[in-house]
């Protein structure tokens, strides 16, 4: 099956390519299609992932896989949430990390707990769509650690792994991350071919 990855984020493309490899799909990306993506104005991760996947599937005539994911810090009222990629305005990953640390200045212990959520939506040109979700709990450190990953990875410490996402190999991150867990659910659903539509359809 040919599938378009509905993202221009190279970090997400790498992780999705690695995670989907067992299915043997031919993966394309937005680099292969000159599309102007719609604004992500949904109230939830599912809303945004569905918006992107459905748009790309309709525009290309091919199944499209979109990811919407983000960091949630309960002590900040759920920030950055669906605004994770735009938190603090137009900024680099490093600047967003600095902004998050400023917002969390003085917070200690349980107040530094956070979680990442990823929602994958696989949409087809006929309007059918499937969704898969992954989540991982962690802690926001007071200073970045590690050189890998992207986004908030240097600040997000995963206690069960004893590392930040930025200190993990791609294989380790796939095992622990929210996106890795969403991909695991998708792989399980598709291991014997596309799942029955009456089971996989979105509510």
| Residue list, annotated binding site | 7-12, 68-69, 150-153, 173, 178-179
What does the DSSP 8-state code read for residue 145?
A: -
Backbone angles phi, psi at 164, to 5 degrees: -85, 165
Q: Which residues are annotated as a binding site for Mg(2+)?
A: 68
**Per-residue tokens: 28:** 């394309």
Give the three-state DSSP class for 27. Answer: strand
Whether the CB-CB separation of 68 and 38 falls below 8 Å is answered with: no
End-to-end CA distance of the chain: 25
Q: Which residues are known catalytic residues?
A: 68
Residues near 193 by Cβ (< 8 Å), separated by ≥ 6?
Answer: none
Instruction: Please give the annotated binding residues for substrate, written as ranges.
Output: 7-12, 69, 150-153, 173, 178-179
């Amino acid at each position: 099956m040919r599938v378009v990855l509905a993202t221009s984020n190279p970090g997400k493309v790498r992780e999705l390519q690695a995670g989907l490899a067992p299915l043997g799909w031919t993966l394309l990306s937005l680099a292969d299609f000159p599309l102007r993506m719609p604004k992500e104005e949904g109230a939830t991760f599912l809303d945004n992932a569905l918006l992107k996947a459905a748009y790309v599937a309709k525009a290309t005539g091919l199944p499209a896989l979109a990811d919407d994911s983000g960091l949630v810090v309960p002590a900040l009222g759920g920030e950055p949430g669906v605004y994770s990629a735009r938190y603090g305005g137009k900024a680099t990953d490093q600047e967003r990390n600095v902004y998050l640390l400023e917002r969390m200045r003085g917070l200690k212990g349980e107040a530094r707990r956070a979680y990442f959520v990823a929602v994958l939506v696989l949409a087809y040109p006929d309007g059918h769509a499937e969704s898969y979700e992954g989540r991982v709990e962690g802690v926001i450190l007071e200073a970045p650690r590690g050189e890998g990953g992207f986004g908030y990875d240097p600040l997000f410490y995963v206690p069960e792994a004893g590392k930040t996402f930025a200190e993990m190999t791609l294989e380790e991150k796939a095992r622990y991350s929210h996106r890795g867990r969403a991909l695991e659910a998708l792989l399980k659903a598709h291991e014997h071919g596309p799942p029955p539509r009456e089971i996989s359809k979105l509510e």
